[in-house]
């Protein structure tokens, strides 16, 4: 038997004011994305902003549906928009924030497992890391250098992408 220990490293900031100007702007754009959230059931708004290597930014917000499984998280809304609109784009970084009127969110909200799997797929597709910033409105910030560190056991099956020549 072998015991293996996994560790991740990330940067923690007291607020977005400690971030670089580019990262701060990305966080502010994720906050703007909250306005387009359709969340009448949970009242929990999530916004994301994704910076492409081209300099363009794509926004996404969570979109709920009365039939709960039919909704989509903010991260996947933005990522699938990129996949459909900019299929060869390289994603540099993404900022994610959340807000609700029901209570004060005191720590950054992280992505769900489904979103992490999709994020890993984009990272794999472009063969370079995607930096993720989880931003708490008026509070703490976590900056992760690569999605892969958030989901070290992501589903990966290279034989599915092999050509069938």
Q: Give the chain's residues under pLDDT 50.
A: none
Backbone angles phi, psi at 37, to 5 degrees: -65, 135
Tell me the sheet residues that pair with 63. Answer: 38, 72
Domain positions in the chain are: 11-153
pLDDT of residue 156: 76
Q: Which of 110, 112, 114 has the alpha carbon at shortest distance from 144?
A: 110
CATH number of the 11-153 domain: 3.40.140.10
pLDDT of residue 165: 52
pLDDT of residue 162: 65
pLDDT of residue 9: 93
Q: Which of 84, 86, 88, 141 has the alpha carbon at shortest distance from 110?
A: 141
Backbone angles phi, psi at 96, to 5 degrees: -130, 135
Q: Which of 11, 34, 35 has the alpha carbon at shortest distance from 23?
A: 11
User: CA 153, CA 128: separation in Å to the nearest integer?
Assistant: 17
pLDDT of residue 30: 98
pLDDT of residue 164: 56
């Amino acid at each position: 038997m072998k015991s293996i220990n996994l560790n991740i490293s990330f940067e923690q900031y007291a607020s977005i004011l400690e971030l670089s100007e580019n990262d701060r702007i990305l966080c502010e754009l994720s906050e703007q994305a909250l306005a387009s959230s359709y969340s009448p059931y949970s009242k929990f708004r999530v916004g994301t902003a994704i910076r492409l290597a081209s300099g363009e930014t794509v926004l996404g917000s969570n979109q709920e549906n009365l039939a709960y499984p039919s909704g989509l998280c903010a991260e996947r809304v933005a990522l699938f928009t990129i996949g459909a609109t900019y299929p060869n784009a390289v994603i540099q970084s993404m900022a994610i924030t959340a807000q609700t009127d029901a209570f004060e969110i005191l720590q950054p909200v992280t992505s769900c497992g489904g979103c992490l799997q999709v994020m890993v797929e984009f990272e794999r597709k472009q063969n370079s890391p995607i930096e993720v910033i989880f931003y708490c409105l008026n509070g703490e910030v976590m900056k992760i250098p690569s999605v892969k560190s958030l989901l070290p056991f992501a589903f990966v099956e290279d034989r599915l992408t092999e050509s069938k020549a």
